[in-house]
Structure 1
């Protein structure tokens, strides 16, 4: 269990060594990252955050309160507002547009600072507001080129050079805020004079010198004429509205921008436009009520005058001053019926008026509620309130939703359903009024029939009096209602209130914080090379040390051979105090120690593939054994690729192949070397059947004879990954050394020798790592400090 846990542990010291060995990567990436951070800090516009608060009323203030006092809304109770709908209205494009129409953001001014980062391209660009050296006055009655940069170069003699070079430039009409066309490419350069208007078929404006401006040197200036759509989109993208707390009616408005004065002005204008829009909607409702009553009063004014004049003339002509008691009773009943008929007629006219508005396409939200005219109909009042609420919800959803939004489609269905219910209710009221009028007319006819029996003069007088009283009562009723409506309109106030005007809410820029950016850049500059080193290490499948061998094989580890010069083939002899010579001594001593209890004579040395240093290890280990006083013979059994000629002054005229095929005496194939106690048997002439030769009994006889004459027999075998000679020679060997090269041999190449070891087909095998650079590995990094002991 401990071993498994150890395998999953992270060797921090090892990773620190790997990172330290690639210190130049950390330095390079850190410098690049910090340089990029510096460019970002210098080139980014500072963006600040601004905030304001707005109170949504409870709909029991202003005109609604006055109407409650006047009992104009006795039949219904107003529903509470929905904060989400109000937020949608406040953030809507229409509301933002109304706010922008009250401020002058149609032209944006920019300056390109005179900084070394702007030598190649314009990186550091600063927006100006009331600090530019010139002012652009637009002729909004003329079309303009919008959303394109006009470069300005100030010249002597009160002149300037105007340059435009852009593609897909929009030609814009500021009267109705519409785009007329897009010009694929626009390019011109003109020298103009400050204070004089310039006009062509595309634009019309005047540039004037500013009295106060920033005199800091600049590389260049330019301005952009903004379309209303671009202004609305820019402000909407930076605007955010939310309630201070859940169920709270106080909204917190926040916005971001690079010019504090502009953003504060916009937020205040937005809140003012929202409050003014709410008051205007309420006043519009009151004005429609007054207009309706005024039309009715104008119609009755002449009728009232004529009825009174007719009554007076009739009395004078017929000298009538009083009416009998019976007539009075009849007339009183008739007068009551006439008043009731007047009331029903007025109601019917009003219902027809509302129905006509709806059927002629008038906005339902602007239709006058029946209660305002004094008609009590709870069902109709409820339907109007429900329709108004649905329209508010629709306006809220349209801010961020398209026409295909399911919620909008559901709301549209509810609105149409409510509208149809209103139409049906109005028609029912009109039919009911007609029935009531017919009933009243029948009762009036009955009374008039009774009065017909009276003298003609008295009946005529009664008719005139009834007509005059009817018109007078109707006229008084309308005057009373007009006074009520006028009072309601005069006391009308909005229930929206600005709590806190816009202020700068951030202590500094919210997008550019130099210390944090530099710290983040430094961290990124360290993370990138660290990640690269980790990825490369994980992708590197070569053997890098003893720990790698321990994870992929159970073959015992014998030692390492230090990295040295490729030209020094016989390092053990030529430089006995070198790190390579010391490595071979260590391997020789470890081998003799491990095999101390066995009488081993034959040492086989092989590897996985060519280039791992198998022959180099064989030659130097044989040399070390010979230099330790042991008579050693080295056999070159790799008869396909002989290489001993690079190490010794030997020849291949006679060798192992000659001995096995021609039967040459052993003395003729053994060659002396310059190293005492070391003889070699080269491969000889390269045969066509190397495997068959090694399988001959003469090879066994040769090994047995050499074991009697020498202390050690070292056989340099071919790589087991390429050919099969090693498996034939394996039976002659007392011990085997398997050579892997540092950062060259891949781990999968050890699969074959692992299978041999685990199946016990090979005995006494040990692993050796060749060409290991002590300064490039953590496991043996301490040995680089032993340079004092090496020469």
Structure 2
């Protein structure tokens, strides 16, 4: 039973909405039309994607010794998040845009909008960005002929870009620029702008638009739009994405961004080699003069003393001395480098460190520390370009730099002491050999001295030349560690607008609006509409429903006997046989809550159906305040029940014949000043008793029980009492009046009637209870009217 009730409820709701189907259909079509126009007017947006491989760098020799100590956190592995931060940085975007010509945006007039274009455009705007320029607003170019055009401002909203302060733009409320004709190639100059417009392929009467955009604003915009993320958690492949209405522009930007990213990495690698070459050149500049001087001294001595070669003993001593001098020279270079490195660390300067391996230092720990410090400093430069000093990333990198610097200072101090000890030992050996030199002849001793000085300088010079060549080879062979895996490519279809989804959303919104309106309207409606809802609210049976009388005739039972309204009264007459069985004489009372609910109409026609049945019927108008029966029958309300009650006039003298067989009328009569008191007289009881004895059916048309008090006293005279409600007119709160009469007033034999039923609120109602259901000329042919709509017939066949 519960499932059946739920099913009926759904059908009621469905019928409630289907009666508004034209409104719902109109709004659904409007929703689809709005979605179509939105799809048509929205510029398509494409997704541009490219991929970059972030390679892991090989760890330097000795790096594994300090990785566990946290000093080499970046060595030997790639920080994907930092690389993504570089790719999304403002500085990288600005560097890429500096090589692209995106500062002038061109537009064409399209259907109800302006569409941006990129690539070959009929005009070319050249801008001098070294001077202040207006940006943001829109200019209009209308080509007049082959040589001239008209320039005007299409949209305001300009700002002024200042090259000396590129990150600040002054707001310009209004550009003082009047429409003017210029020649192609002519300088267009004003207080805050200066540019030229060249003709490429423009034709007369064509109209174009353009706006100027400064590079910092473009960089900020692209920085925010760029999407960068690893392909997956374990991957070192970074996917770059960009959503733009211009596919070629997006592809060009992403490709240039990746090229700039790789070039920046290569520049970072080459910077170490460049600094090494610079350091070596500085050393060679001093050694070259010393080498040239010692060479001249040696040649001059040989020439003057006619001695060119050392003796065998001298050669042996010289070879030993040369080895020690060479070793001493290398250690002195190493000591000088270490002292320079110590000064650098003590001063706290930020710059490029020279790798110890370039100088010849083979200490793996020192090489690893210097290389790691250099990488940490480079990483700090990258991070500070995008983050403040208080961010966790920058604070962490500063802490690593501090720890690495401390460890490197300790290592350098130790290396300086060790190198100084080695030099002291070498100098002691050299002094020993110099004592042996003193035993040689003076001429040979001086030759050995000049040769010794020349050889020392030459060895150092050759050594630096060799290191310079190595640094140059390293610089020439440097390649970016990261690589471009896929160049930028656009999807074949735009990602927005989503046409099918928008149409679906438009349809849904088009349905929601009227359905929501109907729902709210029904929720706020205080009138009785649904027969089933009325049944639930009242404490008495809903015995019948009377359909809407579409004619002006108040007596359809007599004048239109084949109408569905007439059939509803016949059905109600048949139900009375069950409500008051085995009663030869029947008294029926009709009332309602307020005036206008149709109780008089129901009373008239119920009396009519009994009269047609051959029953001697009388209709008594007891609504002494607002009588209507006389008007409906075309009579004069000159005498009636009020006449009898207020005088000695017998009731038989006020009976009027209705003009229809078996139907008499007792009108209410002239309106008395005290209608309630009249009906409460004992005389009224006597008159009713006599009338019941005279007639088979007595029908009372009583005043509204919700407005007057005398009706409550009249219920005792009737065998069956009917409470009339009117669909779309009676208030829902009126059901409480009926319920109080039954529960508190003790009224029995009370039944409800729903009059003027015309709104179908559900299957089985509105066309039920003898009204229309199965009787129209679409059914058994009993009635002449009520063409049931096709959609209702279709739904009924689903039963």
Q: Same fold, TM exceeding 0.5?
A: yes
Of 514-523 and 321-330, more deviation after overlay is shown by: 321-330
Give 1:171's aligned residue.
160
Q: Structure 1 stretch 46-55 or stretch 103-112: which is displaced more?
A: 46-55
In the alignment, is residue 488 of structure 1 matched against residue 474 of structure 2? yes
Change (3 A) 1:137 1:732: same
Post-superposition offset of 1:559: 1.7
Instruction: Pick the aligned partner of 1:281 from 268, 287, 296.
Output: 268
Q: Normalising to structure 1: TM-score of the pair?
A: 0.81
1:206 equivalent in structure 2: 196
Query: What CA distance in whole angstroms lies between the structure 2 residues aligned with 1:160 and 1:39?
Result: 34
The worse-fitting range, judged by mean Cα deviation, of 611-620 and 454-463 is 454-463
Output the CA distance in 2 between the equivalents of 1:348 and 1:667: 142
CA deviation string 1:196-234 (max 9, x = no partner)? 3322322222222224x6x7996x321122222443355
How many Å separate the matches in 2 of 1:56 and 1:92?
16
Residue in 2 aligned with 1:42?
A: 40
Question: By how many angstroms is 1:190 displaced?
Answer: 0.5
Query: Structure 1: how far apart are the matches of 2:158 and 2:581?
Result: 92
What SS is found at the alignment partner of 1:621? helix
Contact 1:544/1:777 (CA < 8 Å) preserved in 2? no
Answer whether contact 1:738 1:766 (CA < 8 A) is retained: yes
Shifted more, 429-438 versus 232-241: the winner is 429-438
Matched residues in 2 for 1:757 and 1:275: separation? 92
Distance 2:330 2:116 in 1: 72
Q: Using the TM superposition, give the Cα deviation of residue 739 of structure 1 relative to its aligned residue in structure 2, in angstroms.
A: 1.4
Counterpart Cα distance in 2 of 1:411 and 1:127: 40
Which stretch shows the higher mean deviation, 493-502 or 509-518?
509-518
From 63, 80, 85, the counterpart of 2:82: 85
1:641 aligns with 2:635: no
1:231 to 212, 218, 222: 218
Determine the structure 2 residue equivalent to 1:56: 54
Matched, 1:733 2:723: no
CA-CA distance at 1:109 after TM superposition: 1.8
Equivalent residues in 2 for 1:17-166 (5 A)? Answer: 17-60=15-58, 78-113=75-110, 123-156=112-145, 158-166=147-155
- Residues 37 and 521, structure 1, Cα contact 8 Å, conserved in 2: yes
**The residue matched to 1:185 in structure 2 has which SS?**
coil
Q: 1:115-514, aligned counterparts within 5 Å?
A: 123-156=112-145, 158-173=147-162, 177-186=166-175, 187-211=177-201, 220-236=207-223, 238-302=225-289, 343-356=334-347, 359-360=348-349, 362=350, 366-368=352-354, 373=359, 375=361, 376=363, 378=365, 381-382=368-369, 385=372, 388=375, 392=379, 395=382, 403=388, 409-425=391-407, 427-429=409-411, 432=414, 478-479=464-465, 481-506=467-492, 508-512=493-497
Bigger Cα displacement from structure 2, 288-297 vs 436-445: 436-445
* Equivalent-residue separation in structure 2 for 1:89 and 1:592 (angstroms): 94
Q: Within 1, Cα distance between the matches of 2:161 and 2:619?
A: 94
Please, what TM-score do these two structures have when normalized by structure 2?
0.81
Give the alignment of 1:645-724 within 5 angstroms.
645-650=630-635, 654-660=639-645, 662=647, 664-686=649-671, 690-724=675-709
CA contact (8 A) 2:270 2:478 kept: yes
Where 1:89 maps in the other structure, the secondary structure is helix
Write out per-residue CA displacement over residues 465-497 of structure 1, whole angstroms, 9 at most, x where no aligned residue: 998888777666655544443332221101222
CA shift in 2, pair 1:477/1:9, >3 Å:
farther
Q: Separation in 2 of the partners of 1:111 and 1:427?
A: 65
Q: Contact conserved, 1:51 with 1:253, CA < 8 A, in 2?
A: yes
Instruction: Find the aligned partners of 2:196 and 2:324 in 1 and give their Cα distance.
Output: 79
Of 83-92 and 168-177, more deviation after overlay is shown by 168-177
Whole-Å Cα distance in 1 between the matches of residues 544 and 204 of structure 2?
A: 72
Q: What's the CA shift for 1:237?
A: 5.2
Shift of 1:580: 2.4
Between the aligned partners of 2:99 and 2:371, the Cα distance in structure 1 is: 33
| SS of equivalent residue, structure 1 residue 768 | strand
**Residues 1:398 and 1:492: Cα distance change in structure 2 (over 3 Å):** closer
Question: By how many angstroms is 1:129 displaced?
Answer: 2.9
Which residue pairs with 1:550 in the alignment? Answer: 535
Question: Which whole-Å CA distance do the structure 1 matches of 2:266 and 2:534 have between them?
Answer: 84
C-alpha separation in 2, matches of 1:394 and 1:714 = 103
* 8 Å contact from structure 1 (residues 542, 744) kept in 2: yes
SS of match in other structure, 2:150: strand
> Which deviates more from structure 2 when the two are superposed, residues 334-343 or residues 752-761?
334-343
Determine helix, strand or coil for the equivalent of 1:80.
Answer: coil
Helix, strand or coil at the partner of 1:45:
coil
* 1:453-473 CA-partner distances (Å, limit 9, x unpaired): 999899999999998888777
What is the CA–CA distance in structure 2 between the aligned matches of 1:762 and 1:204, rounded to whole Å?
97
Secondary structure class of the residue paired with 2:76: coil
What SS does the aligned partner of 1:282 have? Answer: helix
Instruction: After superposition, give the CA deviation of every residue in 1:96-134 in whole Å (9 maximum; x if it has no partner).
Output: 222222222222221113xxxx5xxxx232323345432
Does the 8 Å CA contact 1:562/1:774 hold for their aligned counterparts?
no
Between 733-742 and 416-425, the greater mean CA deviation after superposition: 416-425
1:323 and 1:622, CA in 2 relative to 1: closer, same or farther beyond 3 A?
A: same
Between stretches 685-694 and 494-503, larger displacement belongs to 685-694
Q: Take 2:250 and 2:533, find their aligned partners in 1: how far apart are those partners?
A: 63
- Structure 2 residue matching 1:413: 3-state secondary structure: helix
C-alpha contact 2:334 2:360 (8 A) present in aligned 1: no
Count how many residue pairs are aligned between Structure 1 and Structure 2. 759
- What CA deviation, in whole Å up to 9, does each residue of 1:639-667 have, x standing for no partner? 44333343244555554455445565333
**2:7 aligned with 1:9, yes or no?**
yes
Range with greater deviation from structure 2 (690-699 or 458-467): 458-467
Instruction: Give distance in 2, aligned partners of 1:298 and 1:79.
Output: 37
Helix, strand or coil: the match of 1:630? coil
Runs of 5+ in structure 1 lacking a partner? none
Q: Cα distance 1:329–1:39, how it changes in 2: closer, same or farther (>3 A)?
A: closer
Shift of 1:712: 2.5
CA distance in 2, matches of 1:389, 1:640: 103
Deviates more, 1:632-641 or 1:92-101: 632-641
8 Å contact 1:370–1:381 — kept in the other structure?
Answer: no
Q: Deviations over 1:504-560 (max 9, x none)?
A: 322x33325666655664555455434444444454454334322333345322221
Contact in 1 for aligned 2:641/2:651 (Cα 8 Å): no
